[in-house]
Structure 1
Amino acid sequence: MRGSAPLKARRGVDVVKFDVPEPATRQVVLDAYAKAIEANPKTRLLLLTHVSHRTGLVMPIAEIVRMAKAKGIDTIVDAAHSWGQLDFRVGELEADFVGFNLHKWVGAPLGVGFLYIKKDRLADIDRDMGDEDFPEADIRSRVHTGTVNFATVLTVPTAVALHHEIGAPAKQARLRYLRDYWVSRVRAFRDIEILTPDEAGSYGAITSFRLSGKTSKADNDAVVAKLRDGFKVHTVRRAGVAKGQCIRVTPALYTAETDLDRLVEALAIITGTKAG
């Protein structure tokens, strides 16, 4: 959790962290949260991520939120990677506080996003920096932006229009197809560990892997460099996963099957496996 040390220093908050078990399944995740909540009865707030930027795991947010509410625990959901990648509605998350990003899967420039606060919870959030530009009942008083980048903001309607023109169901289907296209072919490769489950509803576009025993930053940086320099395949290293660092593969809507063929071929060569 980024910023946990300052939060403890400023507010006296006890920050508790735990790893999502690996390999992950929907039930394994739910059991892990149930255990964590039970072990920490003073918990008042959960910070949740809808789609993990590390592995692409889609978390069962609504079920976790219900579990938390039953114990009087609030939830804040980071939906930066899910809005535009998955087909869902805000209400389906059942969370009172959700943050969204528009530059990842909606295609707007960097620096734009939006915050959802359930209307009957607005009074529980202080005005940001004593904002008096907007009425107390206006959500804009909770996000004080100062002078905004108007050029960036003016692109949002066009980006959202394109998102709607393609359609969230079509985007989700295309991205999952691309993900399955390469994962189904490399899952049986020797020394490849796929970290993202095939379970329905538990993945979107993003999937991460590691080579067996290669868990360090240096190990994974080396594989990223080899894929980039030797095969012109762009991947990124990710830390913070239960059993060690890994490599994230993220196809986009414009990714072609031939691009993923190159990834599969590269992994076959790296692992010494004959690609099927």
Structure 2
Amino acid sequence: AHSFGLLDFAIPDLECDYFGTSLHKFLSAPIGSGMLWIKKEHIPKIWPLVCNDKPQSPDIRKFETLGTRSFPIEQGIGEAIAFHTAIGSKRKEERIRYLKNYWASRVQNIPGVQLHTSLKPNYSCAICGVSIKGLTPAQLDQQLYNTYKIHTVGIVWENISCVRITPHVYTRIADLDVLVAAIEKIASGVKG
């Protein structure tokens, strides 16, 4: 879900048999849209979930038998692809990685702040986990939102306990400066 529309790659270069993705994340298409890619020789083996008169057809369009569907969502996908193409995959990936590194590199040495994501380009792009000593992810998430109107996602799952912060191509540097200042204040115990 996060790789498509964010990272500069072509699906065939992955040499995978199947690729499914949400399109609303970094492609910025409407929520509820997605994409299924299947290597040509595997298409006849996969039956569509919705009735189709040729379920073993080698034509990928057999998966488009959806009955009543939202044409605005489909039109939105086209606009999202046009926007993405205008920016270019490589430029978009570089911009979003820059934004993540911009804020993360400024908070990584603040006492009590811990990054849970590498800043090396081979290991991360947009998403970065951060925590502040003495706060649960829910508490940090609430302070960032309630005091600064910064939307994040608190994650507690297996060995992950942090807040996920994910800038997008349209995130302004000024917004990230607010984030950095907020993390500094929260980490130092200053309210507001």
Q: TM-score, normalised by structure 1?
A: 0.63
Q: Secondary structure at the match of 1:161?
A: helix
Shift of 1:149: 0.6
Could you tell me which residue of structure 2 aligns to residue 243 of structure 1?
A: 159
Give the alignment partner of residue 146 of structure 1, picking from 44, 67, 72: 67
Give the alignment partner of residue 231 of structure 1, picking from 133, 148, 167: 148
Contact 2:23/2:29 (<8 A) preserved: yes
Structure 1: 4+ residue segments shifted above 6 A: none
Contact 2:21/2:34 (<8 A) preserved: yes
Deviations along 1:76-114, whole A, 9 cap, x unmatched?
xxxx11111111110232211111222211222112121
Contact 1:128/1:141 (<8 A) preserved: no
The residue correspondences of 1:1-276 to structure 2 (distance < 5 A) are 80-132=1-53, 136-142=57-63, 144-212=65-133, 214=135, 219-240=136-157, 242-272=158-188
Q: Secondary structure at the match of 2:21?
A: strand
Identity %: 35
Q: Secondary structure at the match of 1:98?
A: strand
Query: Structure 1 266/127 Cα, relative in aligned 2: closer, same or farther at 3 Å?
Result: closer
Contact 1:128/1:144 (<8 A) preserved: no
Q: Give the aligned CA root-mean-square deviation in angstroms.
A: 2.1
Q: Secondary structure at the match of 2:130?
A: strand
Q: Secondary structure at the match of 1:111?
A: coil
Q: Secondary structure at the match of 1:100?
A: strand
Shift of 1:180: 0.6
Q: Distance in 2 between matches of 1:210 and 1:186?
A: 10
Contact 1:102/1:113 (<8 A) preserved: yes
Count of residue pairs the alignment pairs up: 189
Could you tell me which residue of structure 2 aligns to residue 40 of structure 1?
A: none
Q: Distance in 2 between matches of 1:245 and 1:123?
A: 43
Q: TM-score, normalised by structure 2?
A: 0.88
Q: Distance in 2 between matches of 1:231 and 1:111?
A: 29
Contact 2:103/2:176 (<8 A) preserved: yes
Which stretch of the first structure deviates more once superposed, 260-269 or 138-147?
138-147
Q: Secondary structure at the match of 1:154?
A: helix
Which stretch of the first structure deviates more once superposed, 100-109 or 157-166?
100-109
Shift of 1:129: 4.6
Q: Secondary structure at the match of 1:209?
A: strand
Q: Distance in 2 between matches of 1:129 and 1:151?
A: 21
Shift of 1:144: 4.5
Q: Distance in 2 between matches of 1:269 and 1:128?
A: 51
Q: Distance in 2 between matches of 1:156 and 1:227?
A: 32
